[in-house]
């Protein structure tokens, strides 16, 4: 059984940035080498790992309902029918929808009407800046959970990471982790990799989040100027592996923002496969936070399976 405590020894790390960069540059070649059939299966997996998200200032119950419908029906009928011919009959949905706390109830109501088991995630803790007050964050979390959220995404206070106040950062995350665990709510911790200055800070922030009880560590909010990059993912995978070896606990990874096309998704899946292994190739331990990516993957699957370019009206988006 894992006991959550701050262990400074787990922050000791020596990284080789040149080797990390060289490895991630090979990932597209590894994807290409695996063959069309495997990569097509990986694209279906990518759909099942997406957290479909709307975090706009003008969100309404109407566009949130549309988000939920899309999450429950991410692939067009032509693709679904083709997969059934291939005896792939499992219903394919995204892993979750993600909204602000004020819109969680709308998601809960609409998904309930669809009899859908899709998870509802909500972002809190002063998202995306990470400058919220603890008391406000606690109230937001309680409100989101009471409204139907079963996953909470928080963003760390980057200032604490940049000045090396790791134990203080641990205590902040641990307080939230304990609150989530009371209601068996999964916690994703966004470490904002592009704003942490060094790869060593990325590793340490990842490790602190896991020590504090994170179920997932997440690259970014999607609002930063630099979002999910494979070099950051490589460092986070190493932290996840080191933490697993030290504690036996498996923590998930979520890249968010910056994934632009189907090949980007395939490279991240290849990273998970080669660095963490098959136990991480499911939506219990891998998520993708890039909602615009879904349409790109759907179009790519249509092209591959039906052997022609789809018309816009033939796709779900």
Residues classed as catalytic: 218, 254
Q: List the one residue out of 113, 54, 88 whose CA is nearest residue 289.
A: 54
Can you tell me which residue has the tokens 């069309």? 36
Q: Rounded to an integer, what distance in angstroms lies between the CA atom of residue 292 and that of residue 205?
A: 27
Judged by DSSP in three states, 4 sits in coil
Encoded tokens for 227: 């979002």
CA–chain centroid gap for 98, Å, is: 10
Q: Rounded to an integer, what distance in angstroms lies between the CA atom of residue 176 and that of residue 102?
A: 19
Q: What torsion, rounded to 10 degrees, do the Cα atoms 226, 284, 315, 307 define?
A: 100
């Amino acid at each position: 059984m894992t006991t959550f405590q701050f262990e400074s020894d787990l922050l000791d790390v020596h990284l080789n940035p040149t080797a990390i960069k060289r490895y991630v540059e090979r990932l597209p070649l590894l994807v290409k080498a695996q063959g069309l059939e495997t990569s097509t299966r990986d694209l279906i997996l990518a759909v099942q790992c997406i957290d479909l998200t709307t975090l706009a200032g003008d969100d309404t119950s109407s566009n949130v309902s549309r988000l939920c419908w899309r999450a429950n029906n991410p692939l067009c009928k032509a693709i679904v029918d083709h997969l059934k011919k291939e005896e792939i009959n499992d219903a394919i949905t995204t892993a979750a929808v993600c909204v602000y706390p004020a819109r969680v109830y709308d998601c809960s109501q609409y998904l309930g009407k669809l009899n859908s088991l899709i998870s509802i995630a909500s972002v809190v803790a002063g998202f995306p800046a990470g400058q919220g007050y603890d008391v406000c964050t606690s109230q937001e979390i309680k409100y989101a959970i009471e409204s139907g959220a079963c996953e909470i995404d928080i963003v760390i206070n980057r200032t604490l990471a940049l000045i090396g106040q790791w134990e203080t950062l641990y205590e902040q995350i641990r307080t939230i982790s304990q609150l989530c665990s009371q209601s068996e709510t999964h916690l994703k911790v966004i470490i904002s990799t592009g704003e942490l200055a060094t790869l060593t800070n990325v590793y340490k922030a990842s490790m602190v989040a896991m020590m504090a009880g994170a179920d997932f560590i997440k690259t970014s909010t999607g609002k930063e100027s630099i979002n999910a990059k494979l070099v950051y993912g490589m460092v986070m995978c190493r932290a996840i592996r080191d933490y697993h070896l030290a504690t036996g606990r498996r923590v998930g990874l979520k890249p968010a923002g910056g994934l632009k096309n189907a090949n980007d998704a395939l490279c991240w899946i290849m990273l998970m496969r080669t660095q963490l292994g098959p136990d991480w190739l499911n939506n219990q331990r891998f998520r993708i936070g890039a909602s615009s990516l879904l349409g790109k993957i759907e179009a790519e699957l249509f092209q591959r399976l039906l052997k022609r370019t789809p018309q816009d009206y033939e796709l779900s988006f």
